[in-house]
Amino acid sequence: MKHFRRWGAVYILAVLFAGSWIGQAVAMQPEIAEKGWTEFWAATFENWQSEYLQLIIQATLLLGAKHLLFQADARDLERIEAKLDRLLGDRD
């Protein structure tokens, strides 16, 4: 059970990935019969490549925006640390 809790998301993603390919193959059967399997696999991989490229670009831009919007310099960090020390010191 511990193994499934740790790796369950990977298994679910793999099943969804395989299911999407099987579903696409069934839905595109007439086109596969006309153009062949190579066209199907090329289109499928091209689509996945484009999706992953978009995801990586969006994640990079999001991290860059987060870094620019929420910059904290050393003075700010020292001030926050001093406040936390005072708050935690009052508890003891």
- Give the angle subtended at the CA of 18 by the CAs of 56 and 38, to the nearest 5°: 85
pLDDT 10s per residue in the chain (92 long)? 788 888 999 999 999 989 988 998 999 999 999 999 998 888 888 888 888 899 999 999 998 888 778 776 777 888 888 988 888 886 65
* Residues 44, 24 contacting (CB under 8 angstroms): yes
Instruction: Tell me the domain boundaries of the chain.
Output: 2-91
Please tell me the distance from the alpha carbon of residue 7 to that of residue 20, in angstroms, as a whole number.
Answer: 20
